[in-house]
Amino acid sequence: MNRTEQLAKITLNLSEWQKLYYKHQQEYIRRRLEAIKNLHEKKTRKEVMEIVGCVEQTLISWIDIYLEKGLAGLVAPIRHQKPQKLNPEQKEQLKTMLLKQKPIDYGIDRYIWTGKIIEEVIKTRWNLELKDSRIYQILDSLGLSHQKAHRDYENANPEAQKEFVSTIKKLQELQPQDKLIFYDEFAVYDRPSLYYGWAEKNTKPEVPSNEKRQRQKLNGMLSVDAVSGEVYLQLQPQSKAEDVAAYLADLCQDSLQENCTKIDIVLDNNSTHKQKMKGLFHDYLVAREIDDKIEVNFLHSPAYSPDFNLAEYEIHLLRLQKLHHLPSTVTIEQIQLALEDVKYLMNPEQIFRTLEHIFRLPI
Provide the pLDDT confidence category of residue 84 given band limits of 50, 70 and 90: low
Calpha distance 282→249 (Å, rounded) = 8
In DSSP terms, 296 is beta-bridged to 263
Q: Average pLDDT, stretch 221-230?
A: 96
CA end-to-end span of the chain, whole Å? 46
Instruction: Provide the H-helix boundaries in 257-347.
Output: 275-287, 310-318, 332-339
| pLDDT on residue 79 | 63
Is the per-residue pLDDT at 76 higher than 60? yes
How do the domains of the chain map onto residue ranges? Answer: 3-74, 88-146, 158-359
Task: Spell 113-145 as b/e; 16+ CB within 10 A means b.
Answer: bbbebbbebbeeeeeeebeeebbbbbbeebebe
Q: 241: pLDDT confidence band, cut at 50, 70 and 90?
A: very high
pLDDT confidence of residue 195? 55
Interval 37-50 mean pLDDT: 92
Does pTM top 0.85 for this prediction?
A: no
By C-alpha distance, which of 175, 189, 93, 85 is closest to 127? 85
Q: What is the mean pLDDT of residues 99-110?
A: 84
pLDDT at 150: 52
Q: Please provide the CATH number assigned to the domain covering 158-359.
A: 3.30.420.10
Which pLDDT value is given to residue 149? 46
Residues 199, 201: Cα–Cα separation, whole Å:
6
| Contact criterion met (CB below 8 Å) for 328 and 111 | yes
Give the per-residue pLDDT at 289: 95
Asked whether residue 213 carries a pLDDT value surpassing 70, the answer given is: no
- pLDDT of residue 327 exceeding 90, the answer is no
Residue 267 bridge partners (DSSP): 300
Higher-confidence residue: 115 or 153? Answer: 115
pLDDT at 267 over 70: yes
